[in-house]
A and B are shown apart, each in its own frame.
Chain A
Amino acid sequence: MSTIAGPGHTPPIADVRHNEAMSTGRTSHRAGRPARLLSAVFQPIGDEGRAALVERRISEAITGGVLHAGERLPSEHDLAQAFGVAPATVREGLLALRTRGLVVTRRGRGGGSFVADSADPTAFTQAALRTTTRVTLRDAATHYLAITRACVELAARRADPSEVELIRARIHRAHGGDLRSWRRIVDDAVIELAALSQSARLTREQMRLQAELSPFFALVDREPAEQQRRLDALDAILDAVTAADADTAGHLVADAVAHDVSWLVDYRARLEAQ
């Protein structure tokens, strides 16, 4: 696990410790195998139960703002089907979420499980940002940049201008709407642009990273000037992709990510000072 520590997450340091312990073996050297890759094979799979996985999926969706305050969750039956687990497992996961105050259950007509009214993705993300060190934040951004940049550079080589224009039209339609729909459109646009790389692996990685970091970008985008800045940056990147100019597209992505990180680092300092 290398996700940024959100509320209730295991610190990523645990993985590092296991890694060190496993890579001290010598047999792999004698066998002529790369010791670090071999140790990765035998990393702990994790004994986390399925109910805990259900809990984590839903809690991440709530803290990340994918599920909104007051929103009704699907029935236990539907959740069980969606997750591919037994209804009893879903019940156990929901119980844990209730204990954490993320979910409330109402009885009777119109009852069911709902995201707690107090669930505010901004507050969750602010809390996560406060508890994340600068080194972890910058490392996450470095990873995000490496993948996004590789996708965009490949897209510049491979995309047809008509494919780029579909993305551009979408983000311009969304601009000026509420923050939630703006962020959804931006996330979709970035993933669509990544898909123009024609690389399934890179696109899957981009999707994973986008989901992880989007709540932080949403903090930045609460300021209208930053939304405008992001729109302009995306436009410039799309121009470079259309012009098949991979170098410019790559540099523009690097500038955009650097701006987000420095904004978040400053904001983190302001939160700490409070």
Chain B
Amino acid sequence: MTTTHVETPAVIVADYFGQAIDELEGWKARFATELAAARARGPVTTDVLDALVAPYALRTFDALALPVYGSGFIAALDSLSDARSHLAWWQGADRGKLVLAAQSVNKEAIDYSELEWYRVPHQTGEAHVAGPYVDYLCSDEYTITIASPVFLDDEFVGVAGLDLLIDQVERDLTPKLAPHGADISIVNGVGRVLLSTSPHRETGDTVRGAELDALTRTECPGMALAVLAG
């Protein structure tokens, strides 16, 4: 007996972003083992971390049927021996290593503790689809970040993550959702529109109040996203 996979909009969205979560969950376990081994050998510096993360981050670009824009690991604050904060991150068409001026020149700690892609996985212990938001740290674009926390025993050591640009997500998902209705929108936890099949709903706007009450809401399983249908 076969079960039919009902392709509701909420399932389409959950499958789409779920791939990213699965990929991160997949590599972070092996990465954690390697990080533990590196710690046993000596102090873990930013260079040591970069070398450990690089193969996983670079593989992620091609492993998925997703337009991955950036990929890597963000260290927990104060977890490395030579820097308070560090992003082991590769991004863009050339998949170049992200070099932040504040890190390479001023050696100032970048406090990402309050940013959604770091804060939520840290607090909940679970993977999170963060955004959409203007990523002024890495991509400088309107971005979705999927992030999964990494623990060594009970110690939080950082988040494995990948970035998708909303521009590309719109290209991917709008045609898939369009057959399901002329007013299907994906919203995040605060009701912000990620994209919509309706040309009258603007990405970035927040749906609330009476407008929200008039729509049918379906949660996307496994992530803080929902589908609104009008």
Contact = CB atoms under 8 A, between A and B. Distances in A.
Interface of A: 61, 66-67, 71, 73-74, 78, 81-82, 157-160, 162-163, 166, 170, 191-192, 194-195, 197-200, 203-204, 207
A82 B101 contact: yes
A95 B136 CA distance: 32
B156 interface: no
B104 interface: yes
A158 B136 contact: no
Contacts of B51: none
Interface string B114-146: 100000000000000000111010001110000
A81 B100 CA distance: 11
Nearest to B142: A200
Interface string B179-198: 00000000000111000000
A162 to B, nearest CB: 7
Contacts of B142: 198-200
A200 B140 contact: yes
Closest 4 CB pairs of A and B: A198-B204, A160-B190, A195-B134, A203-B134
B160 to A, nearest CB: 23
B6 interface: no
Contacts of B106: 66-67, 71
Given A74-B105, A82-B101, A166 B140 contact: no
B214 interface: no
B136 A203 contact: yes
B206 interface: yes
B136 A195 contact: yes
Nearest to B205: A158
Contact of B204 (A67, A74, A158, A194): A158
B204 A191 contact: no
B114 A170 contact: yes
A73 B105 CA distance: 7
A71 B107 CA distance: 11
B141 A200 contact: yes
Interface residues of B, number: 20
Most central of B104, B136, B142, B203 by chain A CB within 10 Å? B136
B99 interface: yes
A92 B85 CA distance: 31
Nearest to A166: B114
A204 B140 contact: yes
A194 B132 CA distance: 14
A61 B192 CA distance: 37
B99 A81 contact: yes
Contacts of A81: 99, 104
Contacts of A61: 105
A195 B133 CA distance: 7
Contacts of B136: 191-192, 195, 203-204, 207
Contacts of B204: 158, 197-199
Contacts of B133: 195, 198
Given A158-B204, A158-B205, A160-B206, A82 B105 contact: yes
A115 to B, nearest CB: 11
Interface in B17-58: none
A81 B203 CA distance: 37
B104 A74 contact: yes
Nearest to A68: B106
Contacts of A82: 99, 101, 104-105
A78 B104 contact: yes
B86 to A, nearest CB: 15
A207 B191 CA distance: 26
A74 B192 CA distance: 41
Nearest to B104: A82
A113 to B, nearest CB: 12
Interface string B85-102: 000000000000001010
Contacts of A191: 136
6 contacts: A82-B99, A158-B204, A160-B190, A163-B190, A198-B203, A203-B140
A199 B205 CA distance: 11
B134 A162 contact: no
B112 to A, nearest CB: 11
A204 B136 CA distance: 8
Contacts of B105: 61, 67, 73-74, 82
